[in-house]
Amino acid sequence: MDQSHTPFLDRVAGPADLRDFSDSALEALAHELRQETIETVSRTGGHLGSSLGVVELTVALHAVFRTPFDKLIWDVSHQCYPHKILTGRRDRMHTLRQGGGLSGFTKRTESVFDPFGAAHSSTSISAALGFTIGRDMGQPTGDAIAVIGDGSITAGMAYEALNNAGSEGRRLFVILNDNDMSIAPPVGAMNTYLNRLNMPHASLSEVAQGFIAALPQSLREQALAARTRACGGPPDATMFEHLGFTYIGPIDGHSMPDLLATLRVAHARAEGPVLIHVRTVKGKGYAPAEASECCYHGVAKFDVASGAQSKSKPNAPSYTAVFGRALTDEASRDPTIVAVTAAMPNGTGVDIMGKRFARRVFDVGIAEQHAVTFAAGMAASGLKPFCAIYSTFLQRGYDQIVHDVALQNLPVRFAIDRAGLVGADGATHAGSFDVAYLANLPNMVVMAAGDEAELVHMVATAAAHDAGPIAFRYPRGEGMGVELPERGKPLEIGKGRVLREGSMVALLSFGAHLAEVMLAAEALEARGVTCTIADARFAKPLDTDLIRQLASHHQALITVEQGAQGGFGAHVLHYMANEGLLERRLAVRTLTLPDRFIEQASPAQMYADAELSADHIARAALNALGIETLSRQEKRAIL
């Protein structure tokens, strides 16, 4: 076949093929890869801006290093779409972030080219050092390369790893992908200088020291300022160098000649740890992404020509928006209310408060541990901090929740977004464990909103609660469409509510699965099974009067929650066992997420996989009563 007219991307079965390409061919390949990434994400949705920013870097890394023997580790890994296309998954990219399809992040079980899974930040350098130690102790692995963004490197874990890696002094590569710092534009002199370093004894320290000297006089001052600002130290000794790294940069991350020359010299001559500072543009090469405030960080399906996203119009406001507005309303009446978030002001809704009370909203970067203790300090000072963090990310600050908040009984208010299963982001972002890991802590109050109106009341409850720490959880996506109150009213701590009364089955719901519980009750009523629907509101303290009443007047009690085993249902069972309520003729079932991770799909499909659909709830109730399960017609009626 005549390859002269064959697209370069069609000639790539794997990264090894890139090592036979000329430098000009690699540059052309990068252009094709960028266009394919845009086309792919336009059909699937996903993390576009971050992936477009590392196209040239991805090509250069795979061309220079011997992946998969050399371990390429992407921090967060939401920028890994070009990497996936080049590593044998191009024909499956149409399944990205869908049920049974490719993950939106790196995943060890998906490919040998994904040596370490990620979706949370700041883990890459630690993992890369682990591979480095393995190599030096005889394991069959080559070099380790960590690609970490300027946001991720703000987290404490990244600095802990840099400190350890610098102390070890082993050959290791860290690529700092800088797409946001306000430093001087990258310049093209790096390639000129590196190409002169072919003498046998040229070292990487000479590369770093000689870089600025090789620049034209007109650019030398800019480079000195850039290096100082990027590294927090004088130009002759960067912070990274003080930690034991050879520092090179900043270089233009979209210049294939500069990238290839830098990586080749580093690969050939490195003896210890090296940090290469690469400047990139998030959303590079796609005008709508570059012009967007968020650079199309996360997008729905979109039209490539216009950039218009095909997001459906919501029927109700999102829980996140409801929280943001309720918090702002409370803050308008109480000047001691402040908000803390860890690099997610838009995602958590605190940006709404920030637009009105900018000096009372604090974004600490990707630093959940710091966020929690920072909030604890503000609470100790007499302020009323709302610490707004996704459930999956709050896990990273658990020691601080225990030691700095709960132990000292400080009134930090935890607003926990993305509770439950979240869809396309999959298991890495699921809010599965917060009820279990919070409700076992002394002094902690744990709430969950059954609908968006309840969320408004829980914000007011948290604002009014000064007796100790309090948390409330709510899901991703739009609410049920209930009427919202003009102003939240504090709930009585530890008291639930009864929404419907029956005599046979008590459905005790905790949190946002209330809508599914209502659907299950409709199906059961159609079978002649009368149901009581209760919204627990609190996992801690439990409404023990409500539980006792439900246990005393029904044949079966079913608890339902969007959380892992060991959460609300476990606390209910513990109370009932100790009170002797399980010794009477009462059938009890606790419906939770199963003891496994639920893979990506739509939220409805994920809850069906977890056996928490309305059909499953109804079946559990019928099973508890000893009644045959639903017919096909009845199942269709509730779907």
Q: 90-117, pLDDT tens digit by residue?
A: 999 999 999 999 999 999 999 999 999 9
- The phi, psi pair for 360, rounded to 5°, reads -110, 10
> Is it the case that residue 635 has pLDDT exceeding 60?
no
Query: Residue 5's pLDDT band (boundaries 50, 70, 90)?
Result: confident
Residue 117 lies in a domain: yes
> Is it the case that residue 3 has pLDDT exceeding 80?
no
Co-location of 44 and 181 in the same domain: yes
- The phi, psi pair for 184, rounded to 5°, reads -60, 150
Co-location of 342 and 282 in the same domain: no
What secondary structure letter does DSSP report for 587?
E
| Residue at a domain's end among 473, 506, 541 | 473
| Residue at a domain's end among 473, 489, 517 | 473
Residue 202 lies in a domain: yes
Residue 488 lies in a domain: no
With both helix axes pointing from N to C terminus, report the angle between 204-213 and 217-231 in degrees, rounded to the nearest 10. Answer: 130
360 is known as an active-site residue: no
Co-location of 16 and 115 in the same domain: yes
CATH of the domain at 352: 3.40.50.970
Co-location of 422 and 502 in the same domain: no
71 is known as an active-site residue: no
Is 194 within 8 Å of 267 (Cβ atoms)? no
Strand partners, 172: 273
Residue 490 lies in a domain: no
Residue 299, SS3 per DSSP: strand
Distances (CA, A) of 374 to 151, 359, 400, 412, 466: 19, 15, 10, 10, 17
With both helix axes pointing from N to C terminus, report the angle between 156-168 and 124-136 in degrees, rounded to the nearest 10. Answer: 20
Residue 199, SS3 per DSSP: coil
Co-location of 430 and 281 in the same domain: no
Co-location of 213 and 347 in the same domain: no
> Could you give the CA distance from residue 432 to residue 105 in angstroms, rounded to a whole number?
19
Among 210-214, 454-458, 463-467, where is mean pLDDT lowest?
210-214
56 is known as an active-site residue: no
CATH of the domain at 628: 3.40.50.920
> Could you give the CA distance from residue 349 to residue 459 in angstroms, rounded to a whole number?
13
Which of 84, 282, 418, 619 is catalytic? The answer is: 282
> Could you give the CA distance from residue 280 to residue 283 in angstroms, rounded to a whole number?
9
pLDDT tens per residue, range 121-146: 999 999 999 999 999 999 999 999 99
Residue-level pLDDT at 141: 97
pLDDT tens per residue, range 288-305: 988 887 778 888 899 899
Residue 297 lies in a domain: no
- 456 contact partners, CB below 8 Å, separation of at least 6: 322, 326, 484, 485, 487, 488
Co-location of 457 and 571 in the same domain: no
Residue 482 lies in a domain: no
Show the domain range for 355.
319-473
Residue-level pLDDT at 219: 57
Co-location of 275 and 377 in the same domain: no
> Could you give the CA distance from residue 550 to residue 585 in angstroms, rounded to a whole number?
13
Co-location of 200 and 97 in the same domain: yes
Co-location of 505 and 592 in the same domain: yes
- Say which residue the tokens 């408060």 belong to: 353
Is 261 within 8 Å of 191 (Cβ atoms)? yes
| Residue at a domain's end among 291, 306, 336 | 291
Among 180-184, 499-503, 580-584, 600-604, where is mean pLDDT lowest?
180-184
> Could you give the CA distance from residue 498 to residue 515 in angstroms, rounded to a whole number?
14
- 449 contact partners, CB below 8 Å, separation of at least 6: 319, 455, 458, 472, 473, 474, 511, 512
Is 409 within 8 Å of 402 (Cβ atoms)? no
Instruction: Order the strands of the 497-500 sheet from edge to edge.
Output: 497-500, 531-535, 505-510, 556-561, 587-591
> Could you give the CA distance from residue 117 to residue 124 in angstroms, rounded to a whole number?
9
Which of 71, 89, 97, 396 is catalytic? The answer is: 396
> Is it the case that residue 421 has pLDDT exceeding 90?
yes
> Could you give the CA distance from residue 445 to residue 539 in angstroms, rounded to a whole number?
8
Residue 307 lies in a domain: no
Co-location of 536 and 447 in the same domain: no
Which of 56, 368, 454, 561 is catalytic? The answer is: 368
- Say which residue the tokens 């050399």 belong to: 70
Domain count, the chain: 3
Q: Where are the beta strands (DSSP E) in 13-136?
A: 71-74
- Say which residue the tokens 């630690």 belong to: 126
Q: If phi over 0 gives left and psi between -120 and 50 gives alpha, with beta otherwise, what is residue 395? A: alpha
> Could you give the CA distance from residue 470 to residue 140 in angstroms, rounded to a whole number?
49
pLDDT tens per residue, range 358-409: 999 999 989 999 999 999 999 999 999 999 999 999 999 999 999 999 999 9
Among 102-116, 184-198, 310-324, where is mean pLDDT lowest?
184-198
- Tokens (6 digits) for 147: 């690609």
Co-location of 445 and 382 in the same domain: yes
**What value does the mean pLDDT of the chain take?**
90
The model's pTM is 0.87
Residue 393 lies in a domain: yes
- Tokens (6 digits) for 479: 């609410």
What is the three-state SS of 167-202?
A: HHCCCEEEEEEECCCCCCCCCCHHHHHHCCCCCCCC
DSSP one-letter string for 436-448: HHHHTSTT-EEEE
pLDDT tens per residue, range 29-49: 999 999 999 999 999 999 999
